[in-house]
Every structure is written in structure tokens, then in C-alpha cells.
Amino acid sequence: MSESEDPATLAFYEKEAPVYAASGDQGASRHLPAFLVALPPGGRVLELGCGGGRDSAAIIAAGFDLDPTDGCAALAAKAEARIGRPVRVMRFAELDAVEAYDGVFANACLLHVPRAGLADILARIHRALRPGGIFVASYKGGGEEGRDRFGRYFNFPHADWLERTYRTAANWADLAIASGPGGGYDGVEREWHMVTAIKGR
């Protein structure tokens, strides 16, 4: 098991995939439109942690060349059924692409990466982006890593910790963090951080 994975969290998603995937039927992520606008038309997109395929369907419908992935085989199967195309089962630490994508979208998934492993995953994402590529990810804030009532691990970062980790991992041309309130599958309101990072040209 890689230090970028938490076994209990993966087990939760494998067991609860039908219920979890059904919970995402309220529409695409609110962060998706701004991400898509920043991409070249028809650009190649890597989606990490696609879950039940809610955002995948919207990315495909917008005309982009999507590579959807999830670390949970059960969720990948749900996404495949939704979008009608293969979804790769890939853990974050297995990402080894080099300058292959115009954008990487990681909505509410890297928040499960143990803190010790996050910088490595961010470096892999930076390497996978083409020059000028955009990377968007969202995290539940909090300050102290821990678990929710379902036993899922969260890194629960502060914005300043996120910024330090991103800058340690790679030389981003631009990095912005927007914070605000939001909910989640556990029904708990928390501060969320949405990070937008641009690879230099």
C-alpha cells in the first residue's frame, strides 16, 4: 500500500459505491465550468477520482477528450455505466504520464491522500500536464488530519499548508486558492479550499 492511499477509505468506496454514486446526481461540480473555459477546445483532460461519473459526463458533453479514472473498481464500474465508455482503475501514485494532458480535474478526491504522500502526487500531476496546462482540485479544510463518521481519512488542510505543499512539489507558474463553506457526503458543513494551479510554458 502506497503512502498516498488509505486502506479504510478505499474499502468504504468499494463497499458503498452504489449509494455513493447515486448521491452525485444533483449535477456537475460548481468548479467545473471555470476549469473547462480555461482549456483549449477539445483538449485532453485527465479526471482523477471520477466517482460515479457525474463530472465525467459533463466534460464529455462539452466536447473534451476525457481520460476518466478512479482508484476504486466499484466506482469506476458505476462511472462506465453512466458515460458509456471505459474508466481506468488507477491509484494516484500510478500516474506516470508525461506532458499528456491540457488539464487535470480532481474534484474532492485528493483530500483523501495522507499528508505525507500529497507532494509526490502533486509532482506527478505537474509532470503529466502539458506546458500551460491547468490543474484544479478541491479539499475539505480543518487544519488537523482525521476521519469522518464513515471512517474515511481526510487530510483536512489549512490553505497555507496547501500552498506550501504545492510549491514544494513543483514549480507552478500560477497558484490560487479560493476558500468558502460547503457540505459533503457526511452532511457536515466545513470550509473548502479550491486550488487552481497552472504549469509554466
Q: What is the pLDDT of residues 77-126, one digit of tens each?
A: 999 999 999 999 999 999 999 999 999 999 999 999 999 999 999 999 99
Grid cell for residue 149: 463518521
Residue with cell 487544519: 143
Residue 1 in any domain: the answer is no
Residue 157 in any domain: the answer is yes
Residue 148 in any domain: the answer is yes
Tell me the one-letter amino acid at 24.
G
Domain count, the chain: 1
Pair 73, 94: CB distance under 8 Å: no
- pLDDT number for residue 1: 45
Residue 123 in any domain: the answer is yes
pLDDT band at 16 (very low <50, low <70, confident <90, very high): confident
**Residue 194 structural domain:** 7-199
Rounded CA-CA distance 177/24 in Å is 24
**Any idea what the CATH number is for the domain that residue 94 is in?**
3.40.50.150
Residue 73 in any domain: the answer is yes
pTM for the complete prediction?
0.94
Tell me the one-letter amino acid at 95.
L
Is the per-residue pLDDT at 25 higher than 80?
no
Residue 166 in any domain: the answer is yes
- Which residues, at least 6 apart from 115, have a Cβ–Cβ distance to it below 8 Å? 145, 155, 157, 165
Residue 2 in any domain: the answer is no
Residue 138 in any domain: the answer is yes
- pLDDT number for residue 191: 94
